[in-house]
């Protein structure tokens, strides 16, 4: 460059122009952006020749239509999916009879007109006041002659009046029961610790598990199945997610008698498929039945690569322990004998086609539950309760005295909680200064023993305890928390060899009664590859021996 010239005045070479896209009409006075704006303003007009004839029509000005051609399809001439009204009503009746059956599965829901099958039982209410005002219906300014009424004659009006009055009286009685009598004290607010398991975070985790699962396992405590049953979750699944399968698992069945577990399985099986289970990596019960049931569910969903099985329920019911038992790994999920150990949901692989989802324990709010009920169900950690000694009386009411005597080796408290705590504290040396009893420490110990199974207790079905058993059979079976009593030597000398074999067979049948299969046991339960994926294949193969201890008894 010459002297006195600047770099900005340098003319662009051909090399510098490479890669620059020029617009038609761009010059020294107008850049590309300005040219585009001018073209937009000039647009919308037709192009004409010297004679004024249109050579190119403007946008959206041409009247010439292209020839439309519909693609031919063989479905035009095939049969359409039509159904007669009587066939539809018959199918609706058959569907209504099976829709509430927990043992019937709808395979192809998307191919059925479910909106036509569902009929609402509620009569649609006509919003008369919103559609037509009172003045336009009655009075001198009425615009129609006859008002729309829900009754056709006086008899129907009388019947409707009587029914509405009966409903009103029932509502008054319910309100009267809810009203409390005036007292000279005010009910103390419930401690914040008793609202555990009801936070928004827990419910979000629960709905994540429900939305991500194809099969829902509701884990119940075999000692108190009704108390650990989440009715609100079941209602949600029934109304909003009827395509998801729900099954019950009675965990901790080793803490209750065999007849009690069998009765609960029989009772709950009327609602949903139910299995008795004992979570243990080395000595489990019901493991083979549960894996077989999950495999049958995976067979029903062949269109999916894998199915997800979510475990929900109250805190400290053993959801994480069941997962560790199924995968035969103690470290698959974190477990602890205290509630609230599982904080978030987590996936665990069982087989190539079955995945398990662990969920934090949820405790639906129930106004009928007291603080004692919530504490004894294992929802709350005992060390966080302010006054645990006030819940000991409920423990004494639920447990039998001879079980407490055998557990703590004390006697003579006469169903008095204060006296019971004093005897137990002096026996264990839990005293304060001056020889005063440390009731708080002793109460926490008793409550922990109660929830962790050291004190035998359970809630039997009403009227079913020892039903259909003779005194000798009940004595041989034993009570809760006791070992089965041995036969008398005199009975052994009198009984014959065949009678003993018959007793063993009946005991084996009684042990198999709690091993419940929800579907056809002859169905295909999985391939050989899935068996190899399970690390505990030998345990599954021998689950019959482990699930039924009565089979191990030797015939004398």
Q: Give 491's contacts (C-beta < 8 A, 6+ positions apart).
A: none
CA–CA separation, 310 and 331 (whole Å): 19
Question: Cα–Cα distance between 264 and 274 in angstroms, integer?
Answer: 9
Q: Is residue 385 exposed (0-12), middle (13-18) or buried (19+ Cβ within 10 Å)?
A: buried
Residue 164: pLDDT over 80: yes
Residue 251 CB contacts under 8 Å (≥ 6 apart), including other chains: 219, 220, 221, 222, 277, 278, 279, 317, 318, 321, 322
CATH of domain 371-398+400-451: 1.10.1580
More confident position, 222 or 490: 222
This prediction has a pTM of: 0.62
Q: Which two tokens stand for residue 95?
A: 């569907």
Question: Which tens digits make up the pLDDT trace of 86-114?
Answer: 888 888 888 878 877 888 887 776 666 66
Q: Kindly report each contact of residues 82-85 with a partner whose C-beta sits within 8 Å and lies 24 or more positions away, as own/partner.
A: none
Residues of the chain with CATH 3.40.50.300: 197-365+496-556
Q: How many CB atoms lie within 10 A of CB 366?
A: 13
Q: Using alpha carbons only, how large is the chain's radius of gyration in Å?
A: 38
CA dist 156 → 150, 265, 396 (Å): 9, 47, 57
The CATH fold assigned to 197-365+496-556 is Rossmann fold (3.40.50)
Q: Distances from the Cα of 481 to the Cαs of 63, 171, 255, in angstroms?
A: 94, 46, 7
Residue 276 belongs to what H/E stretch? Answer: strand 274-276
Q: Are 214 and 245 in contact (CB under 8 A)?
A: yes
Q: Which residue has the higher pLDDT, 81 or 428?
A: 428
Number of residues written out for the chain: 556
More confident residue, 75 or 516: 75
Give residue 185's pLDDT.
61
Q: What per-residue confidence (pLDDT) applies to 226?
A: 92
pLDDT tens, residue by residue, 379-407 = 889 998 988 999 999 999 999 999 999 99
The string of pLDDT tens digits covering residues 4-51 is 555 555 555 555 555 556 667 778 888 888 988 888 887 778 888 999
Question: Is the distance from CB of 391 to CB of 380 less than 8 angstroms?
Answer: no
3-state secondary structure of 416: coil
Query: How far is 436 from 507, CA to CA, in rounded Å?
Result: 51
Average pLDDT score over residue span 276-296: 93
Mean pLDDT of 520-540: 44
Three-state DSSP state, 178: helix
pLDDT at position 469: 45
| Mean pLDDT on 300-315 | 92
- Bridge partners, 332 (sequence order): none
Ramachandran quadrant class, 90 (left: phi over 0; alpha: psi -120 to 50; beta: rest) = alpha
Instruction: Render pLDDT for 440-494 as a digit per residue (tens, 0 to 9).
Output: 999 999 999 999 989 999 988 875 444 444 444 444 333 433 334 444 444 444 4
The reported pLDDT for the residue numbered 46 is 85
d(CA 25, CA 36): 9
**Around Cβ 433, how many Cβ atoms within 10 Å?**
5
Q: What is the mean pLDDT of residues 119-129?
A: 61
> What's the mean per-residue pLDDT of the chain?
77
> Are 247 and 216 within 8 A, CB to CB?
yes
Distance CA 359, CA 154 (A): 58
Task: Work out the pLDDT band at 207, boundaries 50, 70, 90.
Answer: very high
Residue (of 311, 309, 313, 310) closest to 364 by Cα position? 313
End-to-end CA distance of the chain: 118
Determine how many CB atoms are found less than 10 A away from the CB of residue 283. Answer: 11
Give the confidence band of 219 by pLDDT, cuts at 50, 70, 90.
Answer: very high
How sure is the predictor about 179, in pLDDT bands with cuts at 50, 70 and 90?
low
The segment(s) of the chain belonging to CATH 1.10.1580 are 371-398+400-451
Cα–Cα dist 357/252, whole Å: 20
Query: Could you tell me the two tokens for 211?
Result: 């939305």
Q: Which residues pair with 356 in a beta bridge?
A: 309, 348
Distances (CA, A) of 300 to 28, 295, 495: 74, 9, 50
State the average pLDDT over residues 406-424.
91
Q: Strand, coil or helix: what is 207?
A: helix
Which residues are CB-contacts of 221 (< 8 A; sequence separation ≥ 6)?
227, 228, 250, 251, 252, 314, 317, 318, 377, 378
């Amino acid at each position: 460059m010459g002297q006195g010239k600047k770099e900005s005045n340098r003319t662009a070479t051909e090399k510098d122009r490479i890669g620059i896209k020029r617009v038609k009409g761009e010059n020294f006075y107008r850049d590309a952006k300005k040219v585009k704006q001018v073209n937009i303003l000039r647009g919308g007009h037709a192009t004409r020749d010297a004679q004024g004839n249109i050579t190119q029509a403007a946008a959206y000005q041409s009247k010439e239509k292209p020839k439309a051609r519909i693609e031919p399809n063989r479905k035009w001439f095939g049969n359409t999916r039509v159904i007669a009204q009587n066939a539809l009503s018959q199918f609706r009746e058959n569907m209504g009879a099976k829709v509430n059956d927990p043992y019937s599965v709808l395979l192809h829901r998307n191919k059925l007109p479910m909106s036509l099958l569902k009929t609402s039982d509620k009569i649609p209410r006509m919003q008369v006041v919103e559609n037509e005002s009172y003045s336009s219906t009655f009075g001198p300014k009425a615009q129609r002659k006859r008002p729309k009424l829900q009754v056709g004659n006086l008899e129907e009006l009388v019947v409707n009046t009587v029914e509405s009055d009966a409903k009103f009286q029932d509502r008054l009685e319910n309100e009267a029961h809810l009203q409390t009598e005036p007292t000279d004290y005010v009910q103390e607010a419930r401690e914040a610790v008793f609202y555990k398991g009801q936070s928004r975070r827990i419910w979000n985790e629960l709905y994540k598990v429900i939305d991500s699962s194809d099969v829902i396992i509701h884990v119940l405590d075999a000692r108190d199945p009704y108390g650990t049953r989440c009715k609100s979750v079941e209602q949600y699944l029934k109304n909003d997610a009827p395509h998801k399968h729900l099954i019950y698992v009675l965990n901790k069945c080793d803490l209750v008698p065999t007849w009690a577990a069998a009765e609960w399985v029989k009772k709950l099986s009327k609602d949903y498929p139910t299995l008795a289970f004992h979570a243990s990596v080395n000595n489990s019960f019901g493991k083979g039945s549960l894996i077989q049931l999950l495999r049958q569910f995976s067979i029903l969903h062949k269109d999916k690569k894998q199915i997800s099985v979510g475990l929900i329920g109250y805190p400290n019911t053993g959801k994480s322990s069941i997962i560790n038992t199924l995968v035969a790994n103690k470290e698959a999920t974190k477990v602890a004998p205290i509630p609230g150990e599982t904080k978030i949901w987590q996936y665990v692989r069982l087989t190539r086609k079955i995945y398990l989802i662990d969920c934090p324990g949820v405790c639906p709010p129930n106004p009928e539950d007291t603080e004692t009920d919530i504490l004894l169900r294992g929802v709350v950690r005992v060390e966080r309760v302010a006054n645990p000694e006030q819940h000991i009386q409920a423990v004494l009411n639920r447990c039998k005295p001879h079980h407490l005597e055998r557990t703590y080796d004390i006697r003579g408290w006469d169903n008095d909680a204060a006296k019971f705590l004093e005897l137990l504290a002096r026996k264990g040396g839990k005293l304060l200064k001056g020889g005063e009893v440390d009731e708080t420490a002793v109460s926490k110990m008793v409550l922990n023993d109660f929830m962790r199974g050291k004190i035998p207790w359970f809630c039997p079905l009403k009227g079913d305890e020892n039903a259909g058993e003779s005194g000798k059979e009940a004595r041989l079976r034993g009570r809760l928390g006791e070992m089965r009593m041995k036969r008398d030597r005199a009975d052994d000398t009198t009984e014959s060899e065949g009678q003993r074999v018959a007793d063993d067979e009946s005991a084996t049948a009684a042990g198999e009664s709690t091993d419940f299969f929800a579907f056809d046991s002859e169905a295909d339960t999985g391939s050989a590859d899935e068996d190899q994926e399970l690390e505990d294949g030998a345990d599954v193969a021998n689950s019959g021996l482990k699930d039924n201890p009565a089979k191990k008894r030797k015939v004398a």
